[in-house]
Structure 1
Amino acid sequence: MVRRVAEVGREPDPSSLEGPDRPGTNVGRDVDRAQERQKERLMTEHAASEQETPAGLHHVAYACRDINENHRFYEDLVGLELVHTEVTPVGEGFFRHTFYDTGDGTCLAFFDLHGVGEEDKDRTDISTGLGMPLWVNHIAIRSDEARTAAAVERLHAAGYGTYVLEHGWCRSTYVTDPNGISFEFCVDTPGFVPDRQRALELLDAVPTGTGKTP
């Protein structure tokens, strides 16, 4: 016997049903099963999509030259709270690993190394130490005008210089930390809307007049 399958979400037409599919039989159960299978498939696809997408940044870690000076800079001046410290022996040496909350649970972390294989403890300048301009490899936290102004006041009082750049889509205030790393307070421009398509188009873009190729 040929059996016609009712569409999910649409009431079956009794005239189109034959045999056991006529009203009063099991068509309702068949529709319910089809709807349940569709629901399970969508839930499975959604769960797989969530598994493929990272939940977010947990922490990034850098080496520091002096753990106490580093702590003063990041907690007392920048305003990030120290939330966790690990002290771990490695052979005859050890390291300390400190974590500072950037405001949303994501942490900025630092290693204080003591005889664990480091060649030069002071080479923590992640841009200039690699022959690149200071601003290339840097740290940026999301901020607002009030928090940035308060931090800048503390930094200036402590002898640190700052400078500001307007990027159009955000306003950035920069300072160099005790490790020779450029640190940025980034304030998003109100109304800015990300444009993924434009971002993709510019991946291979080269400004005119530079004489450079991608």
Structure 2
Amino acid sequence: MNSEVCELKELEVEHFEIREVLRCILHTIIFHRALGLIRPKAIDCELFEITYVQCGDAEVEKKIEEKIDEFINKVEKHPNRKSQICLSFYEIKNKQSTWFGNNKVERLYWEHWYIYLHVINPKAHGKSHHNKATTDLGGEALEQSTSRHAALESSIREVLFQIIRFVNEKKDHLPSIPNHEGISFPYEITILSSSDSSFGWHTDVLKRMLQTGHPTMIS
């Protein structure tokens, strides 16, 4: 099976912006790849003048929040480092083993999305809202913060358009769509963190494995 990879534009964010940014991106990707019957729900970002769409699926929302919490915990342990999240879609195929008749479950990956975040000063503002975080800043610092925030909002919009372009252009690799409601295919969200110079090498190896549709076998 062919497997497509989309690497999204890297975003520079502060700690208090992580949750909203990841919610926006992850939900947008899953919405566009939820090929079954769903109940779309428009969401206005709290920190940005951006509206995105969720699938209206409680399990999806729960899983995304759990992964964002995991990402934030990792960022707090390793501040000021670039981090990645990989969102992968796959099919599940049952495979009869030739040894002792044991059945295996094979994951056939058909799409991978890489989200790159560079978190700066991760504990500077905690969970503060942007407006509150900039209240006590001087004039020049306030201007710089406002400019950075506007640039980030613009970059998020670019990422959303990048997602839309990809899903509109890349269709030949899509598997047959199951005839049921909700999220059509299972997915997984993997968090990677750049801890040292070997990170790029490990990421390249992982990408090559994923691009070849390398299956994961589960007993």
Provide TM-score, normalisation by structure 1: 0.22
Say which structure is richer in helix. Answer: 2
The structure with the larger Rg is: 1
Provide TM-score, normalisation by structure 2: 0.22
> Highest relative contact order (Cα 8 Å, sep 6+), 1 or 2?
2
